[in-house]
Structure 1
Amino acid sequence: MEKPFLMLVEDVFFPSEGRLVMPTGRIERGRVRKGDAVELVGFGGDALAHVTDIDVSRLRANEANAGMNVGLLLPGAMAGAVERGQILAAPGSIGAHVVFAADITLLPEEQGGAEVLTGESLDFYIRAAAVRGMVTLPRETDALQPLHMGAVTVKLERPVALEDGQSFAFRLHGRAAGSGTVTQLLH
């Protein structure tokens, strides 16, 4: 069975004033066809639209598949809602979340890893999204040291499209600090 369509929004263009908006990015999975309904997910910009046209290397196409870099032409009413870091997906196939549980691994100190404490504010990079979030360690853990792994809870400042098993990276004080995997979506 084919997985539902999901595309990362990496940039946004406005090819015709007010009439169309063209989010561009890589299709992570599935396929999209001209006329398909797509849902914009993340950053509170959840909206539904129909694909007016598909741009592949400046050529029009009737459909696009996983692995392709494309531009999807959408109605201009979406113009103010679309931004880098959101995703376009098959309606109802993925949701935006603010809180999740994760397993993280810190880099060694010489590569930027630093001690992480409960309440620490980190910059999270999830797909094409960059969003600030606060980490909470388990009660029995005072701090995570460089090169250590641990289970944490993360609360993001803005809702981001997330799935169980989703990988991400994070930075602390402007430096790469580690990576992780979403283990559970929380409400």
Structure 2
Amino acid sequence: MVERPFLMCVEDVFQRHRGRTVVLAGRIEQGRVHTGDDVEIVGLGGSGTARVEDILVRRVSVVEASADMNVVVVLRGGAADGVERGQVLAAPGSISAHTRFTADIAVLSEEQGGAEVVSGERLCFHIRCAAVWGTVTLPQRLDMVRPLHGSEVTITLDELVALDDGGRFAFRYRGRAAGSGTVTQLPGPVP
């Protein structure tokens, strides 16, 4: 079985030592990372590479960490200064950021918070650790997606977010959980 490239969502940023290091925490979704590896920072307007200076698991320094581990990572490099919650650290070139994608969505029942979704609706999308506003566009043949129903839609986000095919997300409507979806198609990478 081929191992997938390293990918970690940034859940929290603890310390910034201007121009030197950044300490952040998150869960590794896939792959492995080693002390000394270069990682790419992707999404939410940030980009660039930084070097992994140290990896901590349960407050113990380790040389390597792998998928499903909660870790604290110390990064060094100029790009590290801009790291924020919702971005991802990844093997360089393994994932790209997008503002527009196609997805299959399913709307919750009205009792669970679901409401009719129409074209042009502004929703808050929760993709990994990022919460980003975006607009839904329905297919021309459809005027709305009712609670307990689903549809393929196009979503345009307000900010660049690291996305991959098959990625899952949730969305909120007027502050309440309203449904979930799966990324089905991405355009080419954003320059």
* Deviation of 1:19 (Å): 2.5
What TM-score comes out, normalization by structure 2 length?
0.94
Q: Is 1:152 the equivalent of 2:150?
A: no
Whole-angstrom distance in 2 between the partners of 1:158 and 1:105 = 23
RMSD: 1.3
Q: Secondary structure at the match of 2:78?
A: helix
Query: Does structure 1 conserve the Cα–Cα contact (< 8 Å) formed by 2:16 and 2:81?
Result: no
* Deviation of 1:76 (Å): 5.6
Q: Which residue in 2 is equivalent to 1:100?
A: 101
Question: How many aligned positions are there?
Answer: 187
Whole-angstrom distance in 2 between the partners of 1:84 and 1:44 = 12
- Residue identity matched to 1:146: P
> Which segments of structure 1 move beyond 2 Å, counting only runs of 4 or more?
15-19, 76-80
Whole-angstrom distance in 2 between the partners of 1:103 and 1:80 = 35
Give aligned-pair identity as a percent: 60
76 and 91 in structure 1: CA distance in 2 versus 1, 3 angstrom threshold: closer
Whole-angstrom distance in 2 between the partners of 1:183 and 1:17 = 39
Whole-angstrom distance in 2 between the partners of 1:111 and 1:51 = 42
Deviation track 1:67-105 (CA, whole Å, cap 9, x = no partner) reads 111111112633531010000000000000100000000
50 and 183 in structure 1: CA distance in 2 versus 1, 3 angstrom threshold: same
- Residue identity matched to 1:75: R
Query: Does structure 1 conserve the Cα–Cα contact (< 8 Å) formed by 2:49 and 2:77?
Result: no
Query: Does structure 1 conserve the Cα–Cα contact (< 8 Å) formed by 2:11 and 2:25?
Result: yes
Whole-angstrom distance in 2 between the partners of 1:50 and 1:17 = 15
Q: Secondary structure at the match of 1:110?
A: helix
